[in-house]
Amino acid sequence: MTKIDGAAALKRRRRRTALVGWSFILPNLVGFAALTLVPVGATLLLAFTDWNSYDTPHWIGFDNFQRMWDNDNFWTALSNTAWYAAGHIPLTMAASLGLAVLLNQKLRGVAFFRTAFFFPYITSLVAVAVVWNMLFSPDAGPVNQLLRAVGVAHPPGWTTDTDWALPAVVITSVWRDMGYYMVLYLAGLQAIPAELYEAARVDGAGPWKRFWHVTVPSLRPTTFFVLVMLTVSSFKVFDLVQVMTEGGPGRSTLVLSQLIFREGITQGRFGYSSAISLVLFLIVLIITVTQFRFQRRSER
Amino acid sequence: MKTTVLREDSTTARLPRQPAPAAPAGPRPHRRGPAGPGRIVGRALLYMALTGLAAAVLVPFAWMLVSSLKADSEVFTVPIQWIPKSFRWENFSDIWDQIPLWTYLGNSLFLSVVITALQVLTGSFAAYGFAKVRFPGRDAVFLAYIATIAVPWQAYMVPQYILMQKLGLVNTHLSLILLQAFGAFGVFLMRQYYLTIPDEISEAARLDGLTEYGIWARIVLPLSKPALAGLALLTFVNTWNDYMGPFIYLTDNDLWTVQLGLRSFVGMYSSQYAMIMTGSVLSVLPILVVFLLGQRYFVQGISTSGMK
């Protein structure tokens, strides 16, 4: 009798806990589900339809992907995005790790330097783009004045030149983002036990060896996190390109997310743009999963 | 997905550290180096390197500020004038007549405050459910949150836009508020922080007869002030600086944020270099103030999202 009562009470308590738990989550979950989860799911379906702003959707299988395959703009955008990532990821990583190592010391004034390096990250993007556009100005811009002063006779035209516009965007983005990842690396550095350095020192390792054999391996979890974040963020780059170059000159800085925006929102080709979105998502997913596998293996 | 991955990795990475010889506790060894001239030279070199780097990183800001006080014709000179011939302070009063900057600033402030408040409130509330209450379905829902952090926003912005269009919310502030207030990031960050609060504390409060809501409001929230501040500041700054959201959703000039206003100003008066820089300075200034007031919490917030 009491046993049954106890079981019923337990069941009731469990149900109450579940209700309480859901009540905590729901206010956020309702908004999140309606505005994020549902659209994510919709992208998956829309990619296989011909829906646009004039017609009702029809299921067209892989036609959108066929069209993408045959389309020049898609390949240009894909290759530009890949080049951007190939520049942005390693440079930002190196810069942020370098700054973090320099700043991980008990120095007077270290807080000032940390602030200085972090500040670009929180500066409004339009201001950043506008200023760098002017700095990169081909004739009298400060960057080219500096280059001429150090002996470069014909400095590049940066954002006005189809070959140099993308590097200009990459430089600006590294300058902007390195402070954020520096903070992540600093947190990682501070978690490395001092004994490891002590032991390396006893073994006669100099600063360079200590960096490669103690700092770098100990930072592996942080590096992995930074790598994943950088990959996701560089494949979805939009704002900086849109404000700095609008994809130009020509199509030289057109990136995937701009193409999605143009096709989907400007042109109203919902199905086709969803297909591009799906490809973008799959690329990010494949790279992230590969990194994860690689990380797993090197841990062993 | 990401959380579990990272936690697993950090523990496995920490494992080999434990058997390391326990050196006597003290100041960090790589700072203890030999005292003497070598050390002083090293210090001096480090300071020089840091100062040089800081100067290089800050130079665009200096150029922006200096240019904002010049005449248009003096902005691009060879060689660069680092001190204007005559300071044109009137740039900072003229700009208010050129563009409706007050409207833009007001819109940015409104959106940033509302979105930050909603994100912090619903995010920290939901995070408590994810971190401290055990119930079926919890982990599956959390996985959905984490998974979407890795999905680029561009991948689902078109369906979102169609949804907003059907609801008649395109070209309203409400659309941006709805889109940005329920992000996964706040939930994720707060949950990370709540996990560091020992369960014994909430357990004890439960025995004292507090409900879960009471524990959240009276115990967990006060304990997580630094994380709340970090999340609030990061959300505020991100919303203030957001370009893509307002760019897609807002077409009426009256609704524009500072970012859109500045961008359109640049498009219309592309040769008014000095005035453009004045606008840029004014758009950065509020962020600078917020940042200097809460710098500590920014750093803490970012670190919380990366660790554990």
Burial class of residue B240 (count of CB atoms within 10 Å of its CB; 0-12, 13-18, 19+)? buried
**Confidence class of residue A90 from pLDDT cuts 50, 70 and 90?**
very high
Which residues lie below 8 Å from residue A43, measured CB to CB, with a gap of 6+? A274, A277, A278, A281, B155, B156, B158, B159
Mean pLDDT, residues A141-159 taken together: 81
Q: Do A221 and B9 touch (CB under 8 A)?
A: yes
Domain boundaries, chain A: 71-299
- What's the CATH code, domain A71-299? 1.10.3720.10
A 269-288: CB under 8 A from B: 270, 273-274, 277-278, 280-281, 284-285, 288
Asked whether the predicted pLDDT for residue A85 surpasses 90, the reply is: yes
**Confidence class of residue B7 from pLDDT cuts 50, 70 and 90?**
very low
**Residue B61, both tokens:** 């800001």
Q: Do B156 and A40 touch (CB under 8 A)?
A: yes
**Residue B179, both tokens:** 């889109």
Burial class of residue A108 (count of CB atoms within 10 Å of its CB; 0-12, 13-18, 19+)? exposed
Partners of residue A139 in chain B, C-beta under 8 Å: 76
* B178 lies within 8 A of chain A by CB: yes
Tell me the β-bridge partners of A49: A59
Q: Do B64 and A102 touch (CB under 8 A)?
A: no
Asked whether the predicted pLDDT for residue B12 surpasses 80, the reply is: no
Find tokens 């005292």 and name the residue: B35
**Residue B198, both tokens:** 């020992």
Q: Is residue A241 a contact partner of residue A169, using CB atoms and an 8 Å limit?
A: yes
User: A162 to chain B nearest CA, in Å?
Assistant: 21
Give pLDDT, residue B8: 33
Q: How far apart are CA B244 and CA B249, in angstroms?
A: 9
**Residue B218, both tokens:** 């009276």
B 48-87: CB under 8 A from A: 49-50, 53-54, 57-61, 63-64, 67, 75-80
User: B158 to chain A nearest CA, in Å?
Assistant: 6
Closest CA to A44 of A256, A262, A279, A260: A279
* Candidate from A194-203, A221-230, B1-10 with smallest mean pLDDT: B1-10
Give pLDDT, residue A2: 57
Mean pLDDT, residues A192-214 taken together: 85
**Residue B60, both tokens:** 């665009």
Give pLDDT, residue B156: 83
The dihedral through the CA atoms of A102, A103, A108, A114 has a sign that is positive
User: A4 to chain B nearest CA, in Å?
Assistant: 22
Q: Terminal CA-to-CA distance of chain A, rounded, Å? A: 55
Mean pLDDT, residues A14-26 taken together: 86
Find tokens 């004890």 and name the residue: B204
Collapse the DSSP code of A158 into the 3-class scheme (helix H, G, I; strand E, B; otherwise coil) and give the result: helix
Catalogue all structural domains in chain B, each as residue range(s) with its CATH number: 44-89 (no CATH), 94-306 (1.10.3720.10)
Partners of residue B263 in chain A, C-beta under 8 Å: 126, 243
Q: Do A27 and B303 touch (CB under 8 A)?
A: no
Which tens digits make up the pLDDT trace of B119-170? 999 889 899 888 888 888 888 888 888 877 767 777 788 888 888 888 898 8
Tell me the β-bridge partners of A59: A49
- Please give the residue that has the higher pLDDT: either B17 or A290: A290
* A265 lies within 8 A of chain B by CB: yes
Give pLDDT, residue B25: 42
Give pLDDT, residue A4: 65
Question: In degrees, to the nearest 5, what angle opens at C-alpha B22 toward C-alphas B18 and B24?
Answer: 145
Question: In degrees, to the nearest 5, what angle opens at C-alpha B152 toward C-alphas B149 and B155?
Answer: 125
Minimum-distance CB partner of B148 among A36, A112, A278: A36
Q: How far apart are CA B108 and CA B281, in angstroms?
A: 15
The dihedral through the CA atoms of B221, B223, B229, B232 has a sign that is negative
Single-letter amino acid, residue A237: V
Closest CA to B133 of A163, A25, A81, A100: A25
Global pTM reads: 0.81
Burial class of residue B92 (count of CB atoms within 10 Å of its CB; 0-12, 13-18, 19+)? middle
Find tokens 């390109």 and name the residue: A241
- What phi, psi does A139 have (nearest 5°)? -90, -60
Give pLDDT, residue B307: 52
Residue B211 Cα to chain centre, angstroms: 33
**Confidence class of residue B36 from pLDDT cuts 50, 70 and 90?**
low
Could you tell me how many residues make up chain B?
Answer: 308
Q: How far apart are CA B80 and CA B78, in angstroms?
A: 5
Q: How far apart are CA A260 and CA A275, in angstroms?
A: 9
Asked whether the bond before B79 is cis by omega within 30 degrees of 0, the reply is yes
B 204-233: CB under 8 A from A: 211-213, 216
Residue A102 Cα to chain centre, angstroms: 24
Q: How far apart are CA B234 and CA A94, in angstroms?
A: 24
Which tens digits make up the pLDDT trace of A39-70? 888 888 888 888 877 777 778 878 888 888 88
Q: How far apart are CA B192 and CA B51, in angstroms?
A: 35
Residue to test with chain A: of B154, B284, B290, most A Cβ within 10 A: B154
Give pLDDT, residue A3: 61
**Residue A62, both tokens:** 């892989």
Rg (CA), chain A: 25
Q: Is residue B2 a contact partner of residue B150, using CB atoms and an 8 Å limit?
A: yes
**Residue B161, both tokens:** 């836009």
- Please give the residue that has the higher pLDDT: either B108 or A52: B108
* B135 lies within 8 A of chain A by CB: yes
A 114-143: CB under 8 A from B: 114-120, 122-128, 130-132, 134-135, 137, 139-142
Q: Do B259 and A124 touch (CB under 8 A)?
A: yes
HSE, side-chain direction, 13 A CA sphere, residue A23 = 10
- What phi, psi does B77 have (nearest 5°)? -120, 155
